[in-house]
Amino acid sequence: EVAIEDRLAKGLKNSFEINFEPNTGKRSAKVKTGFKRANVNTALDLEFKTNFPTVLSSAVFGYQNFFAGASVGFDTERQKLTKLSYGAAFQVKDLSLYAGVENSSNYCASAYHRLSRGLEAGLKLCYSGSSHAADLGVAAKYRLNDGSAFKLRLNNRSLLGSSYSFQVRDGFRVTMSSNLDCKNLGGGGHQLGLAFCFEP
């Protein structure tokens, strides 16, 4: 990958990337252009897997506490729109609200609130117009004074996720996690995880 940033204009980044898989002989290339300023963030990507590129474009604009953005994907070979998403958000110091639509059929809304110095909570609701299925999830995070944190997540399918993260010493953190199916506690299929993170 070759990238040029802030050379042609401040906030402008251009990059070129080539990928080759020796086992399959597949080749692809990407040309990326991005422009970022205080209240504007735009991107235009061309991905070449054949002689006809796939165009991916996105833009986000902000004004005070309000943000709005859209993302579009277009396949020039099939002359077909592959992606169309747009959304809006409102953000203040301890509260964030978001609502968006993806491909004119999937709708999502979310809210995040910092309740206190150590406690955060979030809510997300999604609805699929094609399958008429709704997903609802709530999550919370509690941070202790010693740098450890406990997270809890529950959705409308009765999947309960939790994690506990703590710092053993500087640069070494341990995270224990679980994902339980509350509808079938005795049937198995639950997940347990253990992660170690080293930072220089």
Give the Å distances, CA to CA, from 104 to 86, 100, 127, 141, 170: 9, 10, 11, 32, 47
Give the dihedral of Cα atoms 41, 122, 132, 184; nearest 10 deg. 140
Q: In this structure, is the dihedral angle defined by the CA atoms of residues 137, 138, 142 and 143, taken in order, positive or negative?
A: positive
Tens of pLDDT, residue by residue over 114-138, are 999 899 999 999 999 888 899 999 9
Q: Which has the closest alpha carbon to 29: 41, 43, 39, 15?
A: 15
DSSP category for residue 40: E
The pLDDT of residue 66 is 96
**32-48 core/surface letters (b: 16 or more CB in 10 A; e: else):** bebbeeeeebbbebbbe
Task: Tell me the average pLDDT across 78-93.
Answer: 93
Nearest to 90 by CA among 73, 111, 106: 111
Q: Which residues on neighbouring strands pair with residue 138, listed in sequence order?
A: 123, 154
Any idea how long the chain is?
Answer: 200
Q: Which residue has the higher pLDDT, 191 or 185?
A: 191
From first CA to last CA, the distance across the chain in angstroms is 26
Average pLDDT over residues 181-191: 84
Judged against a pLDDT cut of 80, whether residue 188 lies above it is answered with no
Average pLDDT over residues 155-173: 91
Number of Cβ atoms within 10 Å of the Cβ of 97: 15
- pLDDT tens column, 86-125: 999 999 989 999 999 998 889 999 999 999 989 999 999 9
DSSP characters over 140-194: EEEE-TTS-EEEEEEETT-EEEEEEEEEEETTEEEEEEEEEEGGGTTS---EEEE
Bridge partners, 122 (sequence order): 112, 139
Q: Span 136-145, mean pLDDT?
A: 93
